């Protein structure tokens, strides 16, 4: 009986379908090339001596070319078509086979739509654009970057035309598909608009309050070696598995995941900002626990990959903000500071530390922004890049439009372009459609965390005892284990029962920040 079942394709499609197995093997090979390139990139940022840069660029370019050639080979197209013709494979649209086929088709169609001349033009322009941007930022000289951004915008419009977008829709949607599949500018605007209005009121209230939290914790000088031991302890405590990962140092913190068994975080240290090191570490550990939680049996196929950048960011923000800036978390961690920093932290009260980790201050630089104002930085970028892609904003007018929005949303007069529209690398790398994933991450994290709290009502008292396993397991089961089974919006509805909304994030920020500011 069991033998008959095993041989019956309706029961076990993977046992027989040669085309599907061939496609899976190709997907795995592509993953081997891409993950080799990932390790080489990680090594470049973290380990490589400076003399290695030239060879390394050539190595990564070759692997990228081999990857692209394999991904777009006609053989792959034929195998996908053959699998699609086999209805048993897609009978259950949530089966691994159906999910993989859906995603292989999506990737293949996108890749073959781009002429290789455009890909080469893009790589060359991105490389020159980044150099021009770095120079322009250093010298506060927007005009030096302007021609590159104009060329880049023209190329991105052509790229969007190649990809195409659904009706109704707009060119921005075609680009965002690379980062947040299925997400449109209209959908983003629908959630961002109420968020902006309510966030503005909250910020006005907080900044107008006579109670302002102490900044003592953020200004303390602490030895970097002590900070390193401290953040490693926290990463381990919240559940990052060091048998399947590492933590190192790089200029810009990041997470590199090539397999659930090999996930690498980086953080950074400043003598006088342990909160930055802690926040960065918990953020990257959140990304890392997502990668470690993906189903290893599907590694190298879409079922073994993260849903989108927005969902990825929800995992990092959840650990950084919902956990790492909560009172319960600091009730556990504050009393342990002395173990790492001796007398250096003994003058701080528990309230100093908790409030310091939650201080809100509108400022010019996105990457240094607090949890609340951060979203304003993102919304400004989204609105500006959308307007540029729609031809409603000329590159020449970008610096002025930037300053106007900072005045309106954050009440700030941006003094120069270095601290204005030249601060981020993304557009110089021809990444448009990327920025909103940061705030989508904040929104998803708040909505997911509310559901986790419903499922595990004593979550916060667990945090007070340093127990984070229940939350991690809940995320493993509800988010990580699905791979790309659901699109981001579907996953949100599947797990939380509701479409994405600005309300949970606003509830989270109001509920936490108003008491700290005596409101």
Residues that bind its own copies (CB under 8 A): 28-29, 32-33, 35-36, 39-40, 43, 47-56, 58-59, 62-63, 66, 241-246, 258-263, 299
Nearer to its own copies, 54 or 343 (CB): 54
Nearer to its own copies, 202 or 247 (CB): 247
Nearer to its own copies, 62 or 365 (CB): 62
Min dist. Cβ of residue 431 to its own copies (A): 26
Burial 59-71, CB ≥16 within 10 A → b, else e:
bbeebeebbbebb
The pair of structure tokens assigned to 154 is 């023209």
Instruction: List the one residue out of 360, 505, 471, 420 whose CA is nearest residue 136.
Output: 420
Place of tokens 């997502």: 290
Contact call for residues 287 and 438 (beta carbons, < 8 A): no
* Residue 264: CB atoms within 10 Å: 23
Nearer to its own copies, 28 or 507 (CB): 28
Contact call for residues 510 and 498 (beta carbons, < 8 A): no
Given strand 245-249, what is the order of strands in its sheet?
245-249, 262-267, 255-259
Min dist. Cβ of residue 1 to its own copies (A): 34
Instruction: List the one residue out of 215, 200, 212 whose CA is nearest residue 519.
Output: 212
Contact call for residues 433 and 178 (beta carbons, < 8 A): yes
Nearer to its own copies, 260 or 436 (CB): 260
Nearer to its own copies, 190 or 241 (CB): 241
The pair of structure tokens assigned to 339 is 């173990």
- In whole angstroms, give the CA distance from residue 235 to residue 276: 14
**Residues taking part in catalysis:** 284
Min dist. Cβ of residue 68 to its own copies (A): 15
Enclosing H/E stretch for 345: none
Q: How many helices (H) and strands (E) does the chain have?
A: 24, 3
- In whole angstroms, give the CA distance from residue 445 to residue 322: 8
Min dist. Cβ of residue 25 to its own copies (A): 11
Instruction: List the one residue out of 282, 369, 367 whose CA is nearest residue 326.
Output: 282
Q: Are β-strands 262-267 and 255-259 bridged in parallel, bridged antiparallel, or unpaired?
A: antiparallel
Q: Can you point out the beta strands (E) in 163-250?
A: 245-249
Q: How far is CA 267 from CA 220, 249, 289, 325, in A?
A: 19, 5, 15, 18
- In whole angstroms, give the CA distance from residue 258 to residue 40: 11
Residues 6 or more apart whose CB falls under 8 angstroms from that of 425 comprise 130, 133
Nearer to its own copies, 258 or 334 (CB): 258
Min dist. Cβ of residue 51 to its own copies (A): 3
* Residue 472: CB atoms within 10 Å: 18
Tell me how far the alpha carbon of residue 416 is from its chain's centroid: 28
| 3-state SS class at 259 | strand
Min dist. Cβ of residue 54 to its own copies (A): 7
Nearer to its own copies, 46 or 328 (CB): 46
- In whole angstroms, give the CA distance from residue 128 to residue 120: 12
Nearer to its own copies, 52 or 164 (CB): 52
Min dist. Cβ of residue 211 to its own copies (A): 46
- In whole angstroms, give the CA distance from residue 234 to residue 487: 31
Min dist. Cβ of residue 44 to its own copies (A): 10
Min dist. Cβ of residue 241 to its own copies (A): 8
């Amino acid at each position: 009986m069991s033998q008959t079942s095993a041989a019956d394709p309706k029961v076990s499609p993977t046992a027989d379908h040669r085309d599907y197995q061939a496609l899976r093997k190709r997907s795995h090979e592509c993953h081997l090339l891409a993950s080799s390139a990932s390790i080489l990139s990680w090594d470049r940022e973290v380990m490589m001596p400076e003399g290695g840069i030239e060879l390394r660029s050539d190595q990564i370019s070759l692997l990228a070319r081999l990857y692209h050639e394999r991904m777009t080979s006609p053989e792959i197209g034929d195998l996908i078509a053959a699998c699609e013709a086999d209805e048993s494979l897609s009978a259950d649209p949530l089966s691994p086979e159906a999910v993989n086929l859906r995603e292989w088709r999506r990737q293949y169609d996108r890749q073959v739509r781009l002429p290789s001349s455009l890909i080469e033009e893009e790589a060359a322009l991105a490389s020159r654009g980044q150099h021009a941007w770095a120079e322009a930022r250093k010298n506060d000289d927007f005009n030096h970057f302007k021609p590159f951004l104009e060329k880049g915008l023209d190329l991105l419009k052509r790229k969007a035309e190649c990809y195409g977008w659904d009706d109704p829709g707009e060119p921005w949607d075609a680009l965002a598909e690379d980062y947040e599949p299925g997400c449109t500018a209209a959908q983003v605007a629908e959630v961002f608009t109420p968020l902006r209005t309510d966030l503005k009121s909250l910020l006005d209230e907080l900044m107008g309050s006579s109670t302002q939290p102490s900044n003592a914790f953020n200004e303390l000088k602490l030895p970097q070696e002590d900070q390193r031991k401290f953040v490693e302890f926290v990463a381990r405590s919240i559940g990052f598995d060091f048998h399947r990962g590492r933590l190192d140092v790089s200029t810009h913190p990041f997470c590199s995941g090539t397999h659930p068994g090999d996930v690498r975080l980086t953080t950074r240290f400043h003598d006088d900002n342990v909160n930055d090191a802690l926040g960065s570490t918990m953020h990257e550990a959140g990304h890392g626990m997502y990668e470690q939680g993906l189903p290893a049996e599907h590694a190298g196929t879409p079922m073994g990959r993260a849903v989108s950048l927005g969902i990825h960011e929800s995992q990092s923000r959840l650990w950084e903000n919902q956990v790492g800036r909560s009172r319960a978390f600091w009730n556990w961690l504050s009393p342990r500071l002395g173990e790492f920093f001796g007398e250096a932290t003994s003058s701080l009260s528990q309230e100093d530390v908790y409030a310091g980790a939650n201080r809100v201050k509108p400022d010019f630089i996105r990457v240094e922004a607090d949890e609340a104002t951060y979203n304003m930085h993102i919304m400004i970028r989204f609105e500006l890049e959308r307007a540029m892609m729609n031809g409603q904003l000329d590159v020449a007018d970008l610096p002025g439009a930037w300053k106007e929005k900072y005045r309106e949303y954050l009440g700030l007069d941006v003094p120069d372009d270095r601290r204005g529209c030249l601060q981020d690398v993304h557009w110089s790398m021809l990444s448009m459609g990327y920025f909103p994933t940061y705030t989508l991450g904040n929104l998803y994290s708040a909505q997911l965390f509310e559901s986790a709290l419903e499922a595990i009502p004593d979550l916060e008292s667990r945090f007070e005892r340093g127990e984070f396993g229940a939350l991690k397991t809940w995320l493993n089961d509800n988010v990580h284990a699905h791979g790309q089974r659901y699109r981001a919006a579907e996953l949100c509805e599947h797990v939380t029962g509701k479409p994405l909304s600005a309300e949970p994030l606003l509830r989270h920020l109001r509920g936490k920040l108003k008491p700290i500011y005596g409101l």
